[in-house]
Amino acid sequence: MSGRQIIPLFPLQTVLFPGGVLPLRIFEPRYLDMISDCLRHDRGIGVVLIRNGREGGGVPEIHELGTLSCIHYWHRRRDGLLGVTLKGEQRFRVQATEVREDGLMLAEVTYLPQLVSAGIDAAHVHLVELLRQILGELEPPWSTLPPNWEDAEWVSGRLAELLPLELCDKQALLAENDARARLEAIARQLAGLELE
């Protein structure tokens, strides 16, 4: 996908990477309408990290770099809420935003190039094994992701999503344009966590 496009935004306290999955419970009317419209017209949804503010209620301040997602799966939950699973597709940069009367934020975005697929360096093989362990303990939708253990972009994206890193660090990893450099940054952060 290239060029500029207007997409609806879902500001959240999480960071989604291309190739990743994000299960959500939808209950706010503006987002129920957004999901319905995106299903009807096969449109994507922009997931962006909140810089300042909350997920529910008003309009938060957001980070300008996010990930376009598609609705991978949806169902009516036992509690009556709508459950959806988003799948990350492509990074984008927000150029301008507007807020509709119902509070839904729309953005004009420019799509960023996909990261070039890169192999795993010998120094990062332990990160692949760590990811295997993590995914082995999780349920769907994570456990059903088709793995790509040899791809630094896929491995780094899943680790960045699943490891207990600070949100600002996850956002910085999303902004990284080199998959091997992203893996190296994750390795440094893990070493820092182990020292604490």
Does the structure show a pLDDT above 60 at 195?
no
Q: What is the mean pLDDT of residues 79-97?
A: 88
Does the structure show a pLDDT above 70 at 57?
no
Give the model's pLDDT for residue 103. 79
DSSP character at residue 30: H
pLDDT for 28-52, tens place per residue?
778 888 888 888 888 899 999 999 8
Of residues 68 and 56, more confidence is placed in: 68
pLDDT for 1-26, tens place per residue?
556 789 999 999 999 999 999 998 87
Give the model's pLDDT for residue 59. 76
Render 127-172 in DSSP notation, one character per residue: HHHHHHHHHHT--TTGGGSPP-TT-HHHHHHHHHHHS---HHHHHH
pLDDT grade, residue 163 (50/70/90)? very high
Give the model's pLDDT for residue 60. 82
Give the model's pLDDT for residue 194. 60
Give the model's pLDDT for residue 100. 87
CA nearest neighbour of 60 among 6, 14, 4, 5: 14
pLDDT for 89-139, tens place per residue?
999 999 999 998 887 899 999 999 988 889 999 999 999 999 999 999 999
Give me the numbers of helices (H) and strands (E) for the chain, helices first please: 5, 6
pLDDT grade, residue 56 (50/70/90)? low
